[in-house]
Structure 1
Amino acid sequence: MTKVSIRKGIFALILMSLLVLAACSGEKSDEMFSIDDFEQIKTNEGDATGGGELVFGLVSDTPFEGTLNYNFYSGNPDVQIIDWFNESLLAIDGNYNYTQDGAATFEVDRDSNSITFTINENLNWHDGVPVTAEDWAYAYEVVGHPEYEGVRYTQALSSVEGMPEYHAGEADTISGIEIINDKTIKFTYHQFTPSLLSSGVWAYPLAKHIFEDIPIAEMASSDAVRRNPIGYGPYKVDSIVPGESVTMVKNEDYWRGEPQLDAVTVQVINPNVVVQSLETGRVDVVSSFPADQYADNYEMSNVEFLGTIDNAYTYIGFKLGRWDADAGEVVMDPDMKMADVNLRRAMWHAVDNDAIGNRFYDGLRWNATTLIPPSHPDYHDDSIEAPTYDVKKANEILDEAGYLYVNEDDEFRSDKDGNELVINFASMSGGDTAEPLAQYYMQAWAEVGLNVKLLDGRLQEFNTFYDRVEADDPDIDVYQGAWGVGSDVDPSGLYGRTAAFNYPRFASEENDRLLAEGLSEESFDYEYRQAVYSEWQQLMVDEIPVFPTVYRALIVPVNNRVTDYYIGNGTGKYRYQIGVTQDEPFEADEITPVEEEEADEE
């Protein structure tokens, strides 16, 4: 029997045990589901009372960081909170294009490469001070400042005329920003791109009357962000239990109208008790429902499950360089352990993401091919042939690339110089499948002779994981992450040379060219832009700085007492319209005493 066939037999047993482990919390349903099974808007079961409190469960196995301002936050848990008490000045439709339905309207002048925005006269900060054009300009001045240490300086800001010079400390003002009056502001762009009309404008003002006396380097940690955050959304922050919960009360002065609810509480809910918390009515809705638990709970009697294609994908990333903070750009390092694209391609071929999506998620996650997901159907190119599960092909690639077994009885391959090759893999904790999934990937790579070990021998909690990945921790070679792609299809904020979120630290002239082409004057032509991003998707399949593993369904259960709840864009619904039909949430018909006790203890 050959080494490969022996290893394959062992791997099959390991995979079977991992799949059993994933289902150990209960009987695994044989039923398969599809994202097409779901609606995006809650079916109302009665009329809203015009009061009451809604509890929103923020699903996380770690405390939220508490950076509660759009201009400074970095993690998804924080923005889940911010979205309840603040919002973009600009609204978008189902195709992610700006509309005139937001708190600011606009006029586009392509001849002068400018957009003039007018802020609603009735838009005020929660303390009653009007939201002004000066506040909007101030956000650009802060995020673009050389002393700003956050991650929000992206294409949306750098495309403003004079911003690169201001950001580099070569100018004291931003020449492309003109305040016309208290409620009107004009932005002129050195490059007018298609993205400007679909989430390409930074539309999150910063309350100058609060922040102007705080040094920029201290703003993110200030009380104005951490303890007393302010916005102009339908609810305003009343109290915070750091890392655990935020309670908000209605903003009666909200510009769209008075909100239905008296209060909203965002409460962190551990992934392990999501089901119990919903069944007992401890929470009315959660930020997302674990897809791996849906098959066992889809008949829960007291909720309605909403669903849509998530603007996200899970991926395996390879560390290829580092972030040069002084230069503000990625620097690739040809000596990095994962620098050989053949090694990366073999690791893609070694994993079976179709099986993972079906077995762990009952069809609610599915094999991914490119870095523009089907949540953007106009640009996702499903004709691209990405590497698929093929152990034989993976072994052939590694053999030809020089990753060989030095001795006949070696369990793992050596590097191309004949030295021991150990690949450190970072993966996050959270949910029942986190551990078996990480183990699956490591065993899949072991099947083709790669010695991949879990970083520190354990899963990393959310904040620690991203802190280490962002800092280019030299102990990390490979990591499993997930990205939300945002409304605009432009991927430069994640994979551009100057993007701080470019965690694999990948850069190339061809990548630069295609990302620039996607933002060019020619790309106002819809078909031209489609072709550019198709070519970019193919480039990333060829170069593999990361490879997508699965696309995701966003599943959100909502208690039957809740009205007008929605997920996704273009529904015609807004948060201030959400209400409840009675004071207490409905409980599930069948709840065991054990489940009640576990929910209470959590």
Structure 2
Amino acid sequence: MTKTSLSKLLFAIMLVMLLALAACGGDDSESENADSGNNDSTNEESGADEEGLFSIDDFSNIKTNEGEAIDGGSFTYGLVSDTAFEGTLNWNFYSGNPDAEIIQWFDEPLLTWDETYVYTQDGAATYELDGNTVTFTIRDNVNWHDGEPVTAEDFAFAHEVIGHPDYDGIRYGTDFTNIEGMEAYHEGEADSISGIEVIDEKTIAITYKEVTPSLLSGSLWTYPLAKHIFEDIPVAEMSSSDAVRKNPIGFGPFEVDEIVPGESVTFTKNEDYWRGEPNLDEVTVKVVSPTTVVNELESGGVDTVSSFPTDQYPDNADLENVEFLGNVDRAFTYMGFKLGTWDADAGEVVPDPNAKMANKNLRQAMWHAVDNDAVADNFYHGLRWNATTLIPPSHPEFHDESNPGRTYDVDKANELLDEAGYEDVDGDGMRENPEGEELVINFASMSGGDTAEPIANYYIQSWENVGLKVELVDGRLMEFNSFYDRVEADDPDIDIYQGAWGVGIDIDPRSLWGNSVSNYTRWTSEESERLLAEGVSDAAFDLEYRQEVYNEWQELMVEEVPAFPTLYRSVVVPVNNRVVNYGIGDGTGIYLNELGVTQEDPIVAE
């Protein structure tokens, strides 16, 4: 038997055991769904290959319109989550994706972008680049939901709040320090930001220290903040204020009507929306558990969802009352090692050379020990796939397809651990650290759908197979909000964590891997910082040069492994057959005010 065959056999045995354990805690219907016996016919009808694997390339990201949109109607959007949303409902303060899923319905950026992630002139504002200065002109008919115009002062105010020393969000970083005078303002050395000039009510000029290739593809901050509402609220209190939590305001196609904290938000249409009055009268966003999402779709309880659990797709690919859309996600799952702390006063990452996970061999070995191909195929049926570098294929110009990352190789993992002095001193089958002391690695992983626990247990078992004792923090999975609160706070009980990161439209990796508060691993190096800086230098306006720089950076991260990617992701979204004018992903040219339904009631599955 070959090494590959043996690994797949061992994975299959482990998978059966883990899924059996997971099923013990569920009800009978969930257990039957997991092993329905209908996979062969389902796969044949829905495009799976002979091995039962699907490909995201076979999906469209735009809904097929069947019929004409009626005037008015309502629409229900399912926010798929096993936990309540936090409710920080403002682009300038939010930190979690569930909140962003809600904000998108009532607020939006001033600029839009095309399928290549370059800003266009089609948004609520236009822009012009002259030297190092970008001049924004907000359209005359762009108004806040209370009727007040969106102004240049509002846009300047957003920058002033994010740059303020009392700001408690995660936005302040290199995109802001690149603005002339921002650092002096942030340090309290100036009362205003010298690089920001309000020219008139609708025009503002912002001057940057450096004009980089990222500037017009994502690194501009494009979200104003309603000054007439927030100016009397202390900056330190803004994120928890009623203006963010209870009565959020925007200038998007829908207005917030009612919030049930953590559960749902109801919107009514903004008749004064600058793109034109929306087709729909009402939209409801409600939290839907991953375990009930199929029932909600079948019954018409939701018209679509934020994302469909890809592990549930094979058994539901032929759901008759919906059309499945698909797209490569601008995100990936990864394992991050805690290697230092964040110094909030200095605003910098502080690596700890004595951190438990500081040994590079240990980190490399933990990557080699896991079979992400098997995880992708067995849990996600090809709709997620093995990740190799920290720049995902959603940005094909910069993802290095030739870099294999660190492949599954148990022998290599053991060799690396032996070389670094991680040996089983007491004969219990588990390795001690190089000083001969007990080694227990504390692993933080989030709760989620049916596969969250089996996957976490698979990784733990894989590391145990090379002699590493890894345990879940507090002995259980963490819910979303608690997980990120503890990771961001550098909880000393966390040594390694399984996270997910959306890369945004700008590929510049500095926000996650540079000297940034969002660099949760708290690792950096001179070489990494040099390459990240070169990736946004004047020379990087040459595409080939920028590609070479980011290829070198991806190679460095495969060597140093402050984190390693596990899976690249696809987005699979079912949409009720009554829905028209809907798309997912970027550059579709379809906007939410165009969204409509062909009949009052959702179509239900028979």
| Partner SS state of residue 383, structure 1 | coil
Q: 1:289 aligns with which of 290, 304, 308?
A: 308
CA distances 1:386-408 after superposition (whole Å, capped 9, x unpaired) = 1111111111111111100113x
Q: State the distance in 2 between where 1:317 and 1:302 align.
A: 40
1:526 aligned partner, one-letter code:
L
1:579 aligned partner, one-letter code:
G
1:245, distance to aligned residue in structure 2 (A): 0.4
C-alpha contact 1:7 1:447 (8 A) present in aligned 2: no
Q: State the distance in 1 between where 2:251 and 2:312 align.
A: 36
Q: 1:338 aligns with which of 354, 357, 370?
A: 357
Instruction: Show the counterpart of 1:479.
Output: 497
Q: Among all aligned residue pairs of Structure 1 and Structure 2, give the percentage whose two residues are the same amino acid.
A: 66
CA distances 1:583-602 after superposition (whole Å, capped 9, x unpaired) = 1100012xxxxxxxxxxxxx
C-alpha contact 2:89 2:100 (8 A) present in aligned 1: yes
Instruction: Show the counterpart of 2:512.
Output: 494
C-alpha spacing 1:140/1:7, structure 2 compared with 1 (3 Å)? closer
| Match status 1:556 vs 2:565 | no
Instruction: Show the counterpart of 1:505.
Output: 522
Q: 1:93 aligns with which of 99, 102, 114?
A: 114
1:368 aligned partner, one-letter code:
A
1:31, distance to aligned residue in structure 2 (A): 2.0
1:157, distance to aligned residue in structure 2 (A): 1.7
Q: Any residues of structure 2 matched to 1:181-580 within 5 Å, and which?
A: 181-407=200-426, 409-497=427-515, 499-580=516-597
Gaps of 5+ in 2: 1-5, 24-30, 40-50
2:17 aligned partner, one-letter code:
S
Instruction: Show the counterpart of 1:131.
Output: 150
Q: State the distance in 2 between where 1:8 and 1:552 align.
A: 22
Instruction: Show the counterpart of 2:43.
Output: none
CA distances 1:252-272 after superposition (whole Å, capped 9, x unpaired) = 000000101001100000111
2:533 aligned partner, one-letter code:
A
C-alpha contact 2:15 2:454 (8 A) present in aligned 1: no
Q: 1:27 aligns with which of 30, 36, 47?
A: 36
1:154, distance to aligned residue in structure 2 (A): 2.4
Q: State the distance in 1 between where 2:7 and 2:448 align.
A: 30
C-alpha spacing 1:19/1:356, structure 2 compared with 1 (3 Å)? farther
2:165 aligned partner, one-letter code:
P
| Partner SS state of residue 446, structure 2 | coil
1:524, distance to aligned residue in structure 2 (A): 1.3
Q: Any residues of structure 2 matched to 1:6-21 within 5 Å, and which?
A: 13-18=13-18
Runs ≥4 residues deviating over 6 A: 6-12
1:361 aligned partner, one-letter code:
Y
Instruction: Show the counterpart of 2:3.
Output: none
C-alpha contact 1:139 1:205 (8 A) present in aligned 2: yes
| More displaced stretch, 153-162 vs 140-149 | 153-162
1:48 aligned partner, one-letter code:
A
| Partner SS state of residue 316, structure 2 | coil
Q: State the distance in 2 between where 1:533 and 1:9 align.
A: 37
1:442 aligned partner, one-letter code:
I
| Partner SS state of residue 36, structure 1 | helix
RMSD: 1.6
CA distances 1:210-253 after superposition (whole Å, capped 9, x unpaired) = 00000000000101000000000000101100100000000000
1:384, distance to aligned residue in structure 2 (A): 1.1
C-alpha contact 1:11 1:443 (8 A) present in aligned 2: no
Q: State the distance in 1 between where 2:480 and 2:297 align.
A: 23
| More displaced stretch, 517-526 vs 7-16 | 7-16
| Match status 1:162 vs 2:171 | no
Q: State the distance in 2 between where 1:466 and 1:428 align.
A: 9
Q: State the distance in 1 between where 2:438 and 2:302 align.
A: 51
Q: State the distance in 2 between where 1:222 and 1:337 align.
A: 39
| Match status 1:63 vs 2:67 | no
C-alpha contact 1:34 1:364 (8 A) present in aligned 2: yes
CA distances 1:410-429 after superposition (whole Å, capped 9, x unpaired) = 22000001111000001000
Q: State the distance in 2 between where 1:157 and 1:207 align.
A: 19
CA distances 1:495-547 after superposition (whole Å, capped 9, x unpaired) = 111x1110000111111111111111111111111111111111111110100
Q: Any residues of structure 2 matched to 1:112-151 within 5 Å, and which?
A: 113-151=132-170
TM-score by length of 1: 0.94
| Partner SS state of residue 379, structure 2 | helix
CA distances 1:534-569 after superposition (whole Å, capped 9, x unpaired) = 111111111101000000010111000010110011
TM-score by length of 2: 0.94
Q: State the distance in 1 between where 2:448 and 2:347 align.
A: 32
1:42, distance to aligned residue in structure 2 (A): 0.3
C-alpha spacing 1:10/1:51, structure 2 compared with 1 (3 Å)? closer
Aligned residues: 580
1:7, distance to aligned residue in structure 2 (A): 13
Q: State the distance in 1 between where 2:192 and 2:528 align.
A: 31
Q: State the distance in 2 between where 1:284 and 1:439 align.
A: 34
Instruction: Show the counterpart of 2:99.
Output: 78
CA distances 1:357-377 after superposition (whole Å, capped 9, x unpaired) = 001000000000001100000
1:14, distance to aligned residue in structure 2 (A): 3.2
C-alpha contact 1:369 1:384 (8 A) present in aligned 2: yes
| Partner SS state of residue 342, structure 2 | strand
Instruction: Show the counterpart of 1:47.
Output: 68
C-alpha contact 1:11 1:444 (8 A) present in aligned 2: no
CA distances 1:15-48 after superposition (whole Å, capped 9, x unpaired) = 4412556784333735210001100100011110
Q: State the distance in 2 between where 1:215 and 1:179 align.
A: 22
